[in-house]
Amino acid sequence: MSYVPSYELLKKYADVLVKFALRSGEGVKKDDVVFVEIPECAKPFYLPLQKALLDVGAHPIMQYLPDGVTKHFFDNASDEQIAFYPQHFLHGKLEEMTHVIWVIAEADKHDLEEVDPKKLTARMFSRKEYRKRQNQKEIAGELTRVLCLYGTQAMADEAGMSLEDYWQEIIKACYLDLDDPIAEWRKTFTEIETIKNRLTALSIEYVHVTWPDADLKIKIWKDRQRLGCEWRNIPSFEIFTSPDRRGTDWRIRFDQPLYRYGKMVKWIYLKFENGVVVDYDATENKEFLKEIIATPNANKVWEFSLTDSRFSHITKFMAETLYDENVWGPQGNTHIAVGSAFNDTYKGDAHKLTEKEIADLGFNECATHTDIISTAPRTVTATLTDGTEKIIYQNGKFTL
């Protein structure tokens, strides 16, 4: 019989999302409108999530997604139907909701493997305006969101684990094995917040990342703040920023595979000049990597992130970016994302930035973002605005 987490465990999980993660650590309030997107294969999580929202007096809007229908759409839809943008529906939904919960769960990890990558990127590009408006609402403090994982047999198989072992990684990572996971999350967030503030106070001009497979210079600028352990993802242990996309140079190879639309891209290599990918390679699915980079503006860096090995409880490859970008290891992890930037890493009021100011600050706008991860040993040296150098990360830990 396949493993199914108990209702009590899933209710504890739902409480972490509803009573802690949303509203930036404060939890959902009475009369908040919460949009929940949950796949059919995560059905046991539906009622615990709905109950958690009803308990706090919120108004849940539950979108239940049938398994196995997405590939059918791409196989049968015309280019015009794929690119269709239901403006009034999407904008109305965005105006109505206060918070969003996205549940990641897949009944078939390879469902979209044979779909033309051009169709997938066209669909994502068609939703660019919706994501832009959503980000603007978030930056204005009028919307919060959280992403979480529900493990399925297909996901466990892809990671080479039993379903019960896969769930044990989720349980440990989210502190669901503790009597009071919310208290532990508050403690972790406080510790990471201390490091994050120390980094922001350094006024870093650029960082130099070195290890045997990397020699990468990333321009940060003094007008950037560091974000980290965000409530947007449960779990999350990273500290990150959106660099100046124009100031990334040299090369990097990633030892962790990238999963996207049922495809796995291995040993990705990227070379940058003036912030643009000028060369790339992969030992598997290189053509799919080419399609990702070919999306307008997806050939530029949008995020630079470090995870300290002292915080993460994720010990295994999960074949899912939400977890793999936070994976534990003796050397922690580094991940870089190509595509759209986080404008809220700007130290000033990001909500008031004009499009010209966004461009002048070196932020990147794109319909997609793709996180690529490495757990190899690395040293990160910061050059400050006064010209001095300081090692900020070494041996898997921040040195501040």
- Could you give the CA distance from residue 227 to residue 343 in angstroms, rounded to a whole number? 11
The verdict on residue 361 lying in a domain is: yes
Q: How many CA atoms lie within 13 A of 259 on its CB side?
A: 17
On whether both 216 and 170 belong to a single domain, the answer is: no
The verdict on residue 66 lying in a domain is: yes
- Could you give the CA distance from residue 396 to residue 394 in angstroms, rounded to a whole number? 5
How many domains does the chain divide into?
2
- Could you give the CA distance from residue 37 to residue 50 in angstroms, rounded to a whole number? 11
Contact, 146 vs 17, CB < 8 A?
A: yes
On whether both 121 and 221 belong to a single domain, the answer is: no
On whether both 32 and 50 belong to a single domain, the answer is: yes
Contact, 205 vs 265, CB < 8 A?
A: no
On whether both 200 and 348 belong to a single domain, the answer is: yes
Contact, 373 vs 254, CB < 8 A?
A: yes
pLDDT at 19: 97
On whether both 46 and 104 belong to a single domain, the answer is: yes
pLDDT at 374: 93
On whether both 349 and 225 belong to a single domain, the answer is: yes
The verdict on residue 272 lying in a domain is: yes
On whether both 226 and 267 belong to a single domain, the answer is: yes
pLDDT at 118: 87
The verdict on residue 2 lying in a domain is: no
The verdict on residue 73 lying in a domain is: yes
On whether both 163 and 195 belong to a single domain, the answer is: no
pLDDT at 200: 83
Q: Residue written as tokens 């169709």?
A: 119
Closest C-alpha to 292, from 338, 244, 249: 338
| Residue where a domain stops, chosen among 177, 199, 222 | 177
On whether both 187 and 171 belong to a single domain, the answer is: no
Helix (H, G, I), strand (E, B), or coil: what is residue 40?
A: helix
The verdict on residue 337 lying in a domain is: yes
Q: Residue written as tokens 């909500």?
A: 351
The verdict on residue 328 lying in a domain is: yes
| Residue where a domain stops, chosen among 177, 195, 230 | 177
pTM given for the model: 0.86
| 107: CB partners within 8 A, 6+ apart | 39, 40, 41, 67, 68, 152, 154
Predicted confidence (pLDDT) per residue in 215-255, tens digit: 999 988 667 766 665 678 999 999 988 888 788 899 999 99
pLDDT at 226: 60
Domain of 247 in residue numbering reads as 183-398
| Burial (CB count within 10 angstroms: exposed 0-12, middle 13-18, buried 19+), residue 329 | middle
- Tokens coding 134: 């959503």
On whether both 339 and 389 belong to a single domain, the answer is: yes
Helix (H, G, I), strand (E, B), or coil: what is residue 364?
A: coil
CATH code (residue 144): 3.40.1830.10
On whether both 230 and 342 belong to a single domain, the answer is: yes
| pLDDT mean values, one per 10 residues, the chain (400 residues) | 91 98 94 98 98 98 95 96 97 96 95 88 90 89 95 95 97 96 94 90 91 90 64 89 85 91 89 92 94 88 89 90 88 86 67 71 74 93 94 94
pLDDT at 327: 86
On whether both 344 and 217 belong to a single domain, the answer is: yes
| Residue where a domain stops, chosen among 140, 156, 177 | 177
The verdict on residue 333 lying in a domain is: yes
Contact, 381 vs 392, CB < 8 A?
A: yes
